[in-house]
Amino acid sequence: MEMEIQYCGLTDVGRTRPENEDNFLADPELNLYVVCDGMGGHAAGEVASKIAVQTFHNEIWKEQSRIKSYLAGENGVNKIDLLNLMAFAANRASSEVHAESLANSDCTGMGTTLVAILIAGTEAFILNVGDSRAYMLRNGSLEQLTTDHTVYNELVSSGQLPLAQAEELGVANSITRAIGTFEHTNPETLIIDLLHNDRFLICSDGLSHYFEEDIKILGELAGIHDLNHATQTMINVANEAGGGDNITAINIAVSESGQRDEQRARMLNLKHKLLSKMPLFNQLDERELLHVLQVTEVVSFKDRETIIKEGEEGDSLFILLEGEALVKQGKNELAQLVPGDHFGEMALVRGEPRSADVVSKGDSELMVIRRAEFFEILRQEHQLAVKLLWQFLGVLSNRFANTNQELGKAREMLGADDATWKQIFNPEGVSQSYEIDKKKDS
């Protein structure tokens, strides 16, 4: 399925800055869009943002054959490879900006933010460093996709300061990650499955700052049908509100060419709906859910086809999207699964043999999350990792409570007295030390 991409990119100096230190790039051939917001004295910010945009673009351009291989579905190139390509390009940009800051005394300490979107097929690959942002407008709702790398966010997310105290810090908005302040940087990445009529906005904080209190208004402006009018209107509103910084925005509209793929759209919405209702994931915010969704895969099974086999080591969580499935041990049928049911979640944290067979009843489709990809998210997203850890503990606690309740009911039905721990672990009533000594004597 091909996507048609339209865009409008504009930049404005604002009303208080003497120079524009922002830079942006739009390459419709690569479907690559970049915004950088430079910082540094003597117009060094403009130098930093220009070097970053050019270097990032050049690195992606040199590897366009990998993008084409991915689009062609060739073996050896997957979505993680494209994310790694973007992360490498960001680090090359950081190295180039840093080298220039060392070589030119007027540029000492310069740096820049960077936010980029690469659209490949039906997916958007997003990267950010600093506090320039990426938003997605879908079905009339605007969602911030990136996290600002600021002192404020770092302190609050790590729990080092309460929200109220963090707001009082004079350096709360100082960025903690940037391109060029060090030779290497630490970008964050995200993959979004595209739907018809999606819009993406990437911008410097000269724009986003003026919509902190009401993101809904920003969504309404970004969604104006004419892209040029929409982008210019957003910049005008920021200027009317003060224009305290340079303002840069790229507004990107996505539509499906030819006949719309209704089945793909329906499946994406179903995946999101079911994942958000699962106990493991129901406390995640929208951005965190998107991080989990990026490692999901939909697999199909025929009638009576085995989905998992008893005794095999598990490495995947399964969520039933369509159809039904049976849980079996030998010839015994233990349970029947329907859409929304899930199984195998503990395989995400440890590889243990499956305790039963699960067999498709009729044709079925399931969403799969594999352990390797899941752990890659946890490695990159520490705050998300902590949330998921607590959710896993909650699920385990509920399971233990249910198991104890069932054991209690079974004990009552059998009329059995409570067993002491000695009876459980040493039913013959013989001293363990005596048994050990006896073996030594013999």
Q: What span, in angstroms and rounded, lies between the C-alpha atoms of 155 and 205?
A: 20
Q: What span, in angstroms and rounded, lies between the C-alpha atoms of 272 and 339?
A: 13
pTM of the model: 0.79
3-state secondary structure of 359: strand
Return the DSSP state at 420: P
pLDDT computed for residue 113 by the predictor: 97
Burial of 39 (0-12, 13-18, 19+ CB in 10 A): buried
DSSP-assigned beta bridge partners for residue 192: 124
E strand spans, 257-315? 296-301, 306-308
pLDDT computed for residue 158 by the predictor: 55
pLDDT computed for residue 75 by the predictor: 78
Residue with tokens 């407008």: 137
Weakly modelled stretches of the chain, pLDDT under 70: 1, 42, 152-173, 258-260, 399, 415-442
pLDDT tens track for 61-73: 999 999 999 999 8
Inter-residue contact 114 to 132 (CB < 8 Å): yes
Which residues, at least 6 apart from 147, have a Cβ–Cβ distance to it below 8 Å?
Answer: 128, 153, 188, 287
Residue with tokens 């506090």: 131
Q: Which domains are assigned to the chain?
A: 3-260 (3.60.40.10), 264-383 (2.60.120.10)
Q: What span, in angstroms and rounded, lies between the C-alpha atoms of 87 and 171?
A: 27
